[in-house]
Structure 1
Amino acid sequence: MLLKRGALIGVVSTCVVLLSGCIGGESNTPMSASATQNNNIDNPADGLSGVNERTAREDLGDMLFHDVNLSLNRTMSCATCHNPQHGFIDNRENLFNQSVSMGADGIKFGTRNTPTIAYAQFSPAFFKDEATGEYVGGQFHDGRAQHLTAQVNLNGGPILNPVEMMMPDRNAVVDRLLENPDYIERFKAEFGDNIFERQGGGGGGGNPAFSRIGQAIAAFEMTDEISPFDSKYDRSLTGDYMLTAQEQRGYQLVHANCMSCHDSSAITGADKQTFSNYRYYNLGVPVNQAVRDALGNQDKDPGLAGHPNVSDEAQLGKFKTPTLRNIAITGPYMHNGVFQNLETVIAFKDYRRVANNNERVLNPKTQANWAEPDYPQTIQYTDAEAMNDQAIADIVAFLKLLTDKRYESLLD
């Protein structure tokens, strides 16, 4: 069974991007960024749109996020699979049209699609809503990491993952940090002079510097630079952008049919709408058979039921509802990257309306019947109104409005 952040083969860790059903983190202690200011740091990396002065911890997290030296062959960083220039997804060309991600060795691939980390800070810590019996929040598509720090550190995270960054153990990672005098200075200033003291034996399990990597990267991921809320949709709320007639129709369709799963206001507040309720659903997403055949792995993906603290077969095939922020530029879609465009995703959702909609039995991209899912017994159908092709086009027009300002040039 594969569980990952970019979902790579042979790994005990998984990620999924679902349009209604996403992102991959573990610890019960909330992470907070340092309040220490560094007045020498005022230029966001990679042209990110934030303008606020960084804290020292946030800047350290930025450095770590982009550092290829934290991978065994010094070729892969967090930013490799979460490209800041493309909505923090993995848009590298590969054999599978970016449906799944490639490891540091350029040979192994995963079985899940790498999700964006943009707006991931708003997913609450994983918990079970006792009122409804539903699971909510967490990081990764199956919520197995409690929060952003755990997303990096859980079981050594992507850095120790044997098909992601491939470092052999925590001590080897800290040795890489110690190669860089800037890291030594920053870690000591932020976490104390004894941060590099090692406790215990092999592998560096008692190595405090390693655990701080996740805290620093999480601080960076929680900055306004990664969650700017500056899309045309946001600008329309302040009167700085006027929706077109089609965008207005799309807005109305989304709010009439999609917000039961894509309304975050109860968690984030209306002024910070991320368009996800962070709950888990089985949409009956088709198996990405091409990937399974090519990788020689026919294992079913348990989704939420694979979470280490969930032992309930009713959760089989359920994945977390992703944010719709930047959705127009963060394809392919669904946990296995089986759909390449939003029109197909919405048509599929229309197929799963009430029961299987006889008017949507064909995948519009392939003109073949929709492939079967892993767990048909737990599919959750919707009672949304039927949609014609014009309605689908209107919804896509609205979804494009949710693109951060810095990525608008990537839209079709």
Structure 2
Amino acid sequence: MRRQPAFCPWSPSLVCATVAMLGSGVQAAPAFSTPEELGAALFFDVNLSMNRTQACATCHDPSKGFTDPRETEAGLAVSLGDDGTSIGDRNAPTAAYAMFAPEFHFDAETGFFKGGQFLDGREPDLEGQAGGPPLNPIEMGMPDKASVVARLQENAEYVHSMEVLYGADLFDNAEAAYSAMTRAIAAFERTEEFAPFDSKYDRFLRGEYKMTDQEELGRVLFFSQQFTNCNQCHQLGRSAIDPQETFSNYEYHNIGVPENVALREKNGMDPGYVDTGLLQHPNVDDAAQAGKFKVPTLRNVAVTGPYMHNGVFDDLRTVVLFYDKYNSVAEARQINPETGEPWGVPEVDGTLSMEELEIGPALDDQRVDAIVAFLETLTDARYEDLLEE
């Protein structure tokens, strides 16, 4: 038999009536009848952060490609924490299409670690990822799982829905209740809301859109084994017309990204700090993995800058030029167009994926622009207006 509360702990009369109905054995319909519906509510709930200012959607804004549109002292490179002052050291990756990353594992066939969530794969799946930010002191800032569960219990609709979905005794155990929260958020992140596959590229595959000459050149170059290295890492399937291509093989590589000096000046990292990427994964201790980060999806890449794990590049064209520096001897290609200075040295040297980086000849400006044009076609339909911005 369900335990009946000795008193009604919530003030709204409707909620009290619902609790009374539950105590009398009459089962009221839950406000959220599926994990996906519950997860959607939780995804937007700022009350799950210490100062009630930050939700999952704050750093993964659905209107901005599930990235963080907020300016900080360091620009858009990283996110501002719930405390209003903390800024991190890594760019918040898009949550769009994240459901397609496999669980973190070592692929013996390829010799690479693959999958997982976060840029270093430290959580194996979406459930693990959903549980991280609420407890991160420079993100949502809650002290422990029990504190988050207490916030959940402030909301009678959450309590009733979660007990219906996950068990009447769920809130007897904070660990179980916290896990249920992460499962609901992950369920929402696995919905079509996060992966509509309706970009110009998708419509092209379905015969609903005709590529421009420039976009088609970029598409051919991208999937070429001879003229670019793009699809060495940014192709999941074997076919160039796979209708569910996510444009990532989810491997970990060091491509020689330089330190974001301006960011480090703002976020108070100790001098000499080096972000070793995959080597920070709790189950990875091989020094050869230092400086490697998960290959991101290119879905919505044109509207989810800045780029690289530390947000060091603002413009998508800059990223293409950065890759081209490994194949070009032209002096102009050794200059970062955003700074007018030579490209910075790799933050972590000695583990670069040179075999992948040096595939293909140098690109002229026409081909660089064509690749950028093709990447723009990977933008979901609802974000196409952001391309103009």
TM-score range, shorter chain: 0.7 to 0.9
Contact 1:268 1:274 (C-alpha < 8 Å) held by counterparts: no
Structure 2 gap segments, 5+ residues each: 1-28
Distance 1:268 1:249, change over 3 A: closer
Q: Displacement of 1:87 after TM fit?
A: 0.3
- What corresponds to 1:30 in structure 2? none
CA distance in 2, matches of 1:209, 1:376: 43
One-letter amino acid of the structure 2 residue matched with residue 319 of structure 1:
F
Q: Displacement of 1:179 after TM fit?
A: 1.1
Distance 1:179 1:222, change over 3 A: same
Task: Tell me if 1:276 matches 2:248.
Answer: yes
Contact 1:351 1:359 (C-alpha < 8 Å) held by counterparts: no
Q: Displacement of 1:358 after TM fit?
A: 4.8
Distance 1:77 1:271, change over 3 A: same
Contact 1:122 1:268 (C-alpha < 8 Å) held by counterparts: no
Task: Tell me if 1:72 matches 2:50.
Answer: yes
Task: Tell me if 1:248 matches 2:216.
Answer: yes
Structure 1 gap segments, 5+ residues each: 1-37, 42-54, 199-203
- What corresponds to 2:64 in structure 1? 86
| Paired-residue identity, % | 49
- What corresponds to 2:333 in structure 1? 360
- What corresponds to 2:378 in structure 1? 402
Task: Tell me if 1:327 matches 2:290.
Answer: no
Task: Tell me if 1:188 matches 2:163.
Answer: yes
Q: Displacement of 1:267 after TM fit?
A: 11
Distance 1:267 1:116, change over 3 A: farther
Question: Of 265, 277, 281, which residue of structure 2 is paired with 1:293?
Answer: 265
Task: Tell me if 1:336 matches 2:310.
Answer: yes
TM-score (normalizing by structure 1)? 0.82
Larger radius of gyration: 2
CA distance in 2, matches of 1:210, 1:269: 40
Give the secondary structure class of the aligned counterpart of 2:341.
coil
CA distance in 2, matches of 1:123, 1:357: 37
Distance 1:215 1:40, change over 3 A: closer
- What corresponds to 1:380 in structure 2? 353
Distance 1:267 1:140, change over 3 A: farther
- What corresponds to 1:20 in structure 2? none
CA distance in 1, matches of 2:258, 2:119: 16
Q: Displacement of 1:385 after TM fit?
A: 1.9
Deviation sequence 1:226-245 (CA, Å, 0-9, x none): 10000010001111100000
Give the secondary structure class of the aligned counterpart of 2:373.
helix
Contact 1:232 1:401 (C-alpha < 8 Å) held by counterparts: yes
Distance 1:246 1:334, change over 3 A: same
TM-score (normalizing by structure 2)? 0.87
Distance 1:240 1:39, change over 3 A: farther
Question: Of 226, 232, 251, which residue of structure 2 is paired with 1:260?
Answer: 232
One-letter amino acid of the structure 1 residue matched with residue 340 of structure 2:
Q
- What corresponds to 2:343 in structure 1? 370
CA distance in 2, matches of 1:246, 1:145: 39
Q: Displacement of 1:359 after TM fit?
A: 4.8
Give the secondary structure class of the aligned counterpart of 2:113.
strand
CA distance in 1, matches of 2:115, 2:241: 16
Q: Displacement of 1:333 after TM fit?
A: 0.2
Contact 2:324 2:363 (C-alpha < 8 Å) held by counterparts: yes
Most deviating of 329-338 and 344-353: 344-353
Deviation sequence 1:5-30 (CA, Å, 0-9, x none): xxxxxxxxxxxxxxxxxxxxxxxxxx
- What corresponds to 2:178 in structure 1? 210
- What corresponds to 2:322 in structure 1? 348
Contact 2:39 2:187 (C-alpha < 8 Å) held by counterparts: yes
Q: What is the alpha-carbon root mean square deviation over aligned residues?
A: 1.9
